[in-house]
Amino acid sequence: SDPFSGVYKRLVIQGDKLVGACLYGDTVDGSWYFKLLREGRKVHDIRDKLMFGESHLGDAGHQGQSKAQMMTDSDEVCGCNGVCKGTIVKAIKDKGLFTLEEVRKHTKASASCGSCTGLVEQILMFTAGGDYSSAPKKKAICGCTDASHQDVREAIREQHLLTIADVYAKLGWRTPNGCSSCRPAVNYYLISTWPHEAKDDPQSRFINERSHANIQKDGTYSVIPRMWGGETSAAELRRIADAVDQFNIPTVKVTGGQRIDLLGVKKEDLQAVWNAIGMPSGHAYAKALRTVKTCVGSEWCRFGTQDSTAMGKILERATWRMYAPHKVKFAVSGCPRNCAEAGIKDVGIIGVDSGWEMYVGGNGGIKTEVAQFLVKLKTQEEVLEYTGAFIQLYREEGWYLERTVHYIARVGLDYVRQRVLDDAAGRAALWERLQFALQGEPDPWFEFDKAQVDTRQFIPIVPVAAAQGEPA
């Protein structure tokens, strides 16, 4: 182990075979260890080097070959998407791929957690040879244009563009109506840059955000109402239970975000279910604030130093109608024991004796990322302002589908500190702009007209034969 570098590696050998491996921090040799496990190969000849991994000589093998060259075509490269070396090599040769982004697009290798990126680049280098490009100078937002996310954001801001058509015309889009990649992104950039001026285009949103519920594999939907700070009441639970019985909802599940998920709701029942439970939208389907997870805090816990539940409810009520480049999750823990798991949230607040500690950029997804310490605060008002300022900075500068952890990695934590900590006037302005953007933002489960919810989508389609009284 190397605590300073955050690396831990443990291998279990039994009967001259590798039977187990635990890697943390440095997982570059994970695929090699997994191959040894799967093949049941004897390791006596490499036992003295096993712990250092196949890459301990700078990815060079015993004959000076790269790790990628030594792999067979059937060896798995990307565990997330099940992509083997042969698939990648074939795509590079058949489709003339020269960049990592092209390989990701055509094979899905390195498109999820990214831990295999180095290996994919090696395969690309020795397959494409001199034509290999490690990274394009500028990544286009999609194939409809050469403009990058940054180009689009700057054009919208500098030229005061208010519609998707304006953006396409000014930046010379090659397709008149865009595609499923650029339309949601441009729509978000417009409404986040010019709130109350640019008009949201529901048809440029994905199906979940148009239906305001999560579509499931069988075509039914899940409904997750908002529960402020994870708290509920007997009245809310009774309404939920009655709705489950009334609409024959097959599954009721408690989520990791301290909410209740109703699974198997028919699309034509969505409006009636929302009305029956009478609770605000949980936005579990959207690129928006999802949950604010809390522990019970000082109100009940013997170890609690701050009232985390109250703080969480204040945060959630202040920001719950907020759309963002990607989903956003908060958590508030009442003491450093951190029962609300604030260390893996986009914004994590941890209570200490003197106030609160604020952490940013955590992620509990495919690749777990620990949030980074940003600042120590004293009051609830400060927590609101600093959290709001950071999130608004992310809303204004983040690229669509970019989580806070990736935004911080791109701009640097020092830049975030400069904007949120060092510039008091700028911080106040960011928080003020967020509050302005959220003024009058509707609850899509109840304010259909204001939220531009097309309720015709909830009307069941009757087969023509059945409508005419004939056997369907």
| 8-131 fold | Arc Repressor Mutant, subunit A (1.10.10)
Task: Tally the residues of the chain.
Answer: 472
3-state secondary structure of 46: coil
Beta bridge partners, 377, equal 356
Task: Please tell me the distance from the alpha carbon of residue 459 to that of residue 456, in angstroms, as a whole number.
Answer: 5
Domain boundary assignment for the chain: 8-131, 149-205, 287-441
Query: Which stretches does DSSP call E strand in 3-53?
Result: 8-14, 17-24
The answer to whether residues 201 and 187 touch, using CB atoms and an 8 Å cutoff, is yes
Give the model's pLDDT for residue 466: 59
Neighbours of 1 (CB within 10 A): 11
Give the model's pLDDT for residue 464: 66
Query: Alpha carbon of 398 to those of 176, 194, 390: distances in Å?
Result: 25, 15, 11
Question: Which residue stretches of the chain have pLDDT < 50?
Answer: 57-65
Give the model's pLDDT for residue 61: 40
Within 261-363, residue ranges assigned H as helices are 270-277, 308-319
**b or e along 426-451 (b: 16 or more beta carbons within 10 Å of the residue's beta carbon)?**
ebeebbebbeebbeebebbbbebeeb
Task: Please tell me the distance from the alpha carbon of residue 340 to that of residue 295, in angstroms, as a whole number.
Answer: 5
Task: Please tell me the distance from the alpha carbon of residue 249 to that of residue 240, in angstroms, as a whole number.
Answer: 10
Give the CA-trace dihedral at 238, 243, 246, 251, to 10 degrees. Answer: -110
What DSSP string describes 166-192?
Answer: HHHHHTT-SSTT--TTHHHHHHHHHHH
Common-topology check for domains 8-131 and 287-441: no
Neighbours of 299 (CB within 10 A): 12
Give the model's pLDDT for residue 4: 64
Domain 287-441 - what CATH class? alpha beta
Neighbours of 290 (CB within 10 A): 24
